[in-house]
Structures are given as structure tokens and as C-alpha cells.
Chains A and B, each alone.
Chain A
Amino acid sequence: MDFDFSDDQEMLRDTVRRWVERGYDFERRRGIVAAGGFSREAWREIADLGICGLQVPEAQGGLGLGPVDAMVVLEELGRGLVLEPYAAVALVATSILRAAHEAAAAPRLEHIAQGSEIVVLAHEERRSRYRLAHVETAAHGSAHAWRVSGTKIVVPAGGKASAFIVPARVSGEVDDAAGIGLFLVAPGQPGVEVRPYPTQDGASAADLVMHEAGAIELIAPGAAFAALELAADVGIAALCAEAVGAMDKLLAITVEYMNTRKQFGAPIASFQALRHRIADVKMQLELARSMSYYATLKLGEEPAARRRALAQAKVQLGESMRFVGQQCIQLHGGIGVTDEYAASHYFKRLTMIEMTFGDTLYQLGEVSRRMQTTAGVFA
């Protein structure tokens, strides 16, 4: 048992942190938000850091690194509220492609590692409400001639994507996990309409409307759902790490403000009501950091234990993000609610993380349903 980072991981952290601090400051980010929430240039810079292929196998030109390395990167990107869909491409989509038919997946993985392709998972539907098995989008066909019809919503950076990974129903009822296959759908073809929009936190997303769209099978029904569930858990671990980075930074911003802002002739940091609040914020941050480690370190467990652990982590993160976000705005007073000041942007990102890959109530249901007699980190 050991929670230290290796020297390589510390170097990786420094590399990403330096880029975020020097290359992705608040003013640049503001410009990217105004321009639609995605910057090709910033994406190129992220690729130049060498991290797009973090989890792409070495055979496809990647680094073949593991979950802890991903956590380190995401904490730093979270600190700077980086808008570009790093986790969606380099972790979530990559996780599925690594389990997919090689002929279809290998070129995608190579391009992801080079930073030249943006492949994203398009799984959410209007009525699925976080349930991965609830898939109305339908696929029919065989071998190399698949057709997919249906609508996916809130696809990260959907307007910039070069390909979509789409869960679609080949057979079974609307919530039958075994009847779901995973398909690769390219934009810019007949029957595919991408409707992009900005998101509440300044990033970009899109709805993906498919009508008899041409598709390539990535993973056949049977194995597909397990890969989808793993990808979602990879996504949760990434969000947890990102949230920890964002909360860490938001706490630092708030502490600085409390020590400089004066009211009643004294720094507001001297008032006990506020001191106790910041102590509670620190508590929620450390509980979240603990569960972010837990999420990352449990990714390699067998599926049932992994799912339970990741649900537990997302519940803690949900509780922590709401508390830290809301209270740090409150501690700032009026300046906290303005668009001009950074705190509100952290708050908005933390709020949107809650609603990605299962909110707190949904994941609490998962924890509840999967609860066993014994509990604990090693149970």
C-alpha cells in the first residue's frame, strides 16, 4: 500500500502543470469560450505534450501508461479548467478502441496518439438518464455494412469530432445490455447530422442525429456492453481527478481572497463562521481526493467490484463538488457570482461534472443496489 507518485509521474505532472499555468491562463480560456469552447491550437499543444497517446498501446505509437498517470494529468487539466476534450478522447474513447476489432481500431488509436483525430463516445440519449444499457438507437446489417439510426445527446466536442463511438441496439428490449453493439460512425456522410452547441461550463458539445448512417462494428453485442461500462468507469475516474484539481485550485483562490478582502476593518479570514466553513471545504476536498485515488486504483478490478467502487467514488465526488462549489462562491460574496471572476467558472465546471456519467443520486442507487455485507477499501 503506497500513495506516493513515481518520479516519472511527478515529471508528467510538472509538464502538464507548466503548460496549464503558462499556456492556458484565464484570459486565453475566456477567448476559447467565446470562440465556441474548443481550440485546435490548444489541442495541438496538448498533443505536443505527448499525452494524447497516454493510454494508447505502444504498438500504435502511444505511451501505454496506466490509470494513475491519467489521474495525474486530469488533476492538472482540472486546475486550469481546460476545455478541450482530453479525457473523452485519450481515455474514454481509447478504452473502447483498445478492446475493439483491430482493423477498425488501430488506425484510430494511431491518430489519437498523434493528436490528429478526435474520436468521442456518443452514448447519452434523451431518455437514458445515465443508464448505459438504455439504448434506443438501433443498428441493423452485418459484417461491413451496418446502418445506425437514433439520436445521441451532449456528445463532448461533438462538432469537432472526426468519428463517433456509438452504442446501438442490435437486438432485445430497450434496456437489454446483451443486445447492444458498439459502432464507429463518421460525420459528414449522408444520414448523419451533427448539431453543436456550447455547454454551461464554456466547453462545446453536440447532438448526433443518425438516420440509416453508415457504421463500422467496433465490438459485437455480448462483449460490447462490458467495454462500454468500463469506458464509463474510466470516464468517472477521470472526472474525479479533474474535479479534485478544480476544487484544489478553487480552494486556493478562495483562501487568497479571504486573506485579502477586508470587512468590518479586518480580513474576512478572521471571522470564525467563515473559518469553520473553509475547514469544511477542506474536509470535502480531502474526502474527494481520497475517493479519486480509490476510483483510479480500483479501475483494474473485476467488473462488479470496479463498478461498485466507481459508483462510491462518484457519490463522494458529487457531495464534495456541490459543497465546495457552493461554499466557495458564498465565501467570496458578490464577486463570486460574476462572470468576470474565475471562481464562478470553477463552480460551473464542477456542476457539469456532476451530470456526466451519472449524477450523485443515480450513482447512490448503484451503490445501494450493489451493496454487500462487508464493506471497506479492501472488501
Chain B
Amino acid sequence: MDLAFTPEELAFREEIRAWVRDNLPKDISDKVRNSIHLTRDDLQRWAKILGQKGWHGWGWPKQFGGPGWNAIQKHLFEEETALAGAPRVIPFGPVMVAPVIMAFGTPEQQKRFLPGIASGEVWWSQGYSEPGAGSDLASLKTRAERRGDKYIVNGQKTWTTLGQYGDWIFCLVRTSNEGKPQTGISFLLIDMKSPGITVRPIITMDGAHEVNEVFFDNVEVPADQLIGEENKGWTYAKYLLAHERTNIADVNRAKRELERLKRIAEAEGIYDDGRFRDQIALLEVGVIALEMMVLRVLSAEKSGKQSLDVAGLLKIRGSEIQQRYSELMMLAAGPAAVPLKKELVEAGWQPDQAAAAFVAPLAGTYFNMRKTTIYGGSNEVQRNIVAQTVLGS
């Protein structure tokens, strides 16, 4: 048992650190460090910079053009980019649909879709949730009917994150009503420029346009865009969830934001207030415990010696911590967090306001973070899963 990274791992980290220092655009990291909304261009620029280096699919094996890193290397990459203030890579393409295409797609599908994801040029969205299918995802109703070499898709998806930018969307659709709800679901890749698709914004309580409704009205989808077998989509979706493991805790961003919280508290003159400082200290303990839990999972993956089934715990704790730091940042600003200054959050990045106490976005970020305990399987659903494992019944 040893906490230290190996010399090779440290050298790897240095390599990543130097590359990020030289390649992450400062205007983007300035926005990230101050919770200013990122534009499509900001996100796309960073995705393409990563793509050119071959790191947009940083978790990919070499056979599909990825770097072939192990669990620790992936973690170090995620850590270095997060600490440097890089935007979180939009996961739908490289982290979510790509592994499914690699595992279950045909060679033709792999050739057709993976390069655009690897280069960061094609923007993918996720079509899972529906108005009537949230935590109970298997009850989804969006229907795909096979007609010749096409599927005809009708229905509605919702909470589609950044769907307004999407080029393609991967969807769970119902192809059968036979048997259990899970058994009649298929996994379809759909071009968002197809006739019959309408994207409508949902404005969240922070005033942001981050999520959307996507409507499908007799949308024709070529049958060669079905992944794997018809009615096996639930299996692929579960594979996808299992693929997203430690990164779900987002502990690297939590470390960065904890530092920012301290800077804000200091600038607001409250860092030396014992009662407030103790709250930060308690959060710091939480962040370190979460990081240790993540490292335990990575170590177990690397050695294959222990099995650690704590993905649900990482999701629960990681989201709670995100909510807590965003809340403390807002409270640190106090009355200065009250004014709604939309223009400062949207496009209003002004270099002269680059002080740590750039407080305009803080309340909005706190509002926005309420989503974290709801999405990706609500924390209550995660508790069901953890309980099942613990109780064995």
C-alpha cells in the first residue's frame, strides 16, 4: 500500500501539465474559473484542440485511435485539465456513445462515427429521458417502427443537455411492447438535421439555456444506424453507465472549486471568520475523502485484485459536494450575490473584473447545481442500487 504515484506516472502528469499549459486558451480557462457561461464556440474550440492531439477520446483504446491510457493515466489527465481550468469535455460523444459504438457497433459504424468524435468536430447529444420516463427510464415511449430499411421515429425526449448544438443524438427508443419494458428498447443514432426533429429550449432557474426538449415527428432513420440488435438497447445503455465510473464524482473540479471558494471567502473578508471557515474545512475533509475513494477505485482497477463496487457512492457523494461548494461560494459573497446581472454571466467576461471575488454568477451556479443530485440516476435511485448491493436482497 502506497499513496505515491510511480515516477512514470509523475512524468506522465508533467507531460500532460505542460501540454495543457501551452494549449488551453486563456480566455476559455478564465471563463471556467469564474463560472461564466461557455459558448458553443468555446466548447468546440477546446474539443478540437484535444482532438488534434488525439485526446478528445482520452479514454479510448489505441485500436480506435485513442491514447490507450490506463485508469490512473486517465485520472491524471482529467485532474490536470480540470485544475488548469479546462471546460469539462462534453461527455456524450467521447465518453458515452463512443464506447457503445466500439463494443457493439459494426466496423462500418465504427468507421463512420468514431473519427468525428475523436476529432471533436461532431457534437453528440443524449436522448434518454422523456416527460414520462425519468428515474423509471425503462418506461420510455418514443417509438421506432421498422419500415423496410428505415425506422420511423415518433415521440419526445427531454432534458437534452446542450441539444441546441447537437449534430447527432443517440436515443433509446421503443421497438417492442412485448415482455418486460426493458426488453423492447433499441439504441438508435439519429442525425439531428433530419426532417421532423424540433429542438425547444428549457430555461432553468438560473436563467440558462442548457437543456432542451427534442420532438420527433415521423423522423426517418436509416436502419444501419441501429446499434447492435433490435430490442437489446437496454443492455447497451447499462454498459454505457458502467463505463462512466470514477469521473462521475468530478473530484478534480471539486478541488479546483474549493480553492476558488477560499479565494472568494478571502476577498469577501470572511475567510477568517471561524464559523464560516469551519464550514470550508468540513468541505475540505469531504473533498479529500471523496478523492481517496476515487483513488481506491483506480487502484483496484489497476491491480484487478479487489473488487470495489462504489460507483453509486461516488455519484451520490460527488454531487453532494458540488452542491455544497456552490452553496458556500454564494454564501461567501453574501449580499453581493443577490443582484441579478445577467450580462456579466453571459457574455460579460471583462478582464478588469478577473478578481477572485467575481461574484455575479455565484447564485446562478448554486441554482444550477441542484441538477447534480437529480441527473445521471437520481441520488435516491443510487441509494436503491447501493442498498441492493449491501443488503443482497
Residues of A within 8 A of B (CB): 1-6, 9, 68, 251, 255, 258-259, 267, 269-270, 272, 275-276, 278-283, 286-287, 290-291, 293-294, 296-298, 312, 315-316, 364-365, 367-368, 371, 373-378
Contact = CB atoms under 8 A, between A and B. Distances in A.
B308 to A, nearest CB: 9
Interface string B355-393: 000000000000000000000000010111011001111
B387 A1 contact: no
A237 to B, nearest CB: 13
Contact of A373 (B259, B286, B310, B393): B259
B1 A4 contact: yes
B242 interface: no
Given A4-B303, A259-B393, A279-B383, A376 B289 contact: no
User: Closest 5 A-B residue pairs measured CB to CB?
Assistant: A290-B292, A275-B387, A368-B281, A279-B386, A279-B383
Given A3-B300, A278-B391, A279-B383, A365 B278 contact: yes
A316 B289 contact: yes
A258 B284 contact: no
A180 B280 CA distance: 33
A287 B287 contact: no
A251 B386 CA distance: 13
Contact of A371 (B2, B9, B277, B382): B277
Chain A interface mostly helix, strand, loop or mixed? helix
Q: In the complex, which range does the number of interface residues on chain B fall in?
A: 35 or more
A4 B3 contact: no
Interface of B: 1-6, 9, 72, 255, 258-259, 262-263, 274, 277-278, 280-282, 284-293, 295-296, 298-300, 302-303, 305-306, 310, 312-313, 316-317, 380, 382-384, 386-387, 390-393
Contacts of B282: 315, 364, 367
Contacts of A373: 259, 262-263
Contacts of A291: 285, 288-289, 292
A281 to B, nearest CB: 8
B383 A367 contact: no
Contacts of A294: 3, 288-289, 292
A1 B383 contact: no
Contacts of B72: 1
A1 B71 CA distance: 12
Given A1-B9, A276-B387, A375-B255, A367 B3 contact: no
Contact of A1 (B3, B317, B390): B3
A373 B266 CA distance: 10
A2 B1 contact: yes
Contacts of B263: 373
B296 A290 contact: yes
A258 B393 CA distance: 10
B284 A4 contact: no
A20 to B, nearest CB: 21
Contacts of A278: 387, 390-391
A189 to B, nearest CB: 43
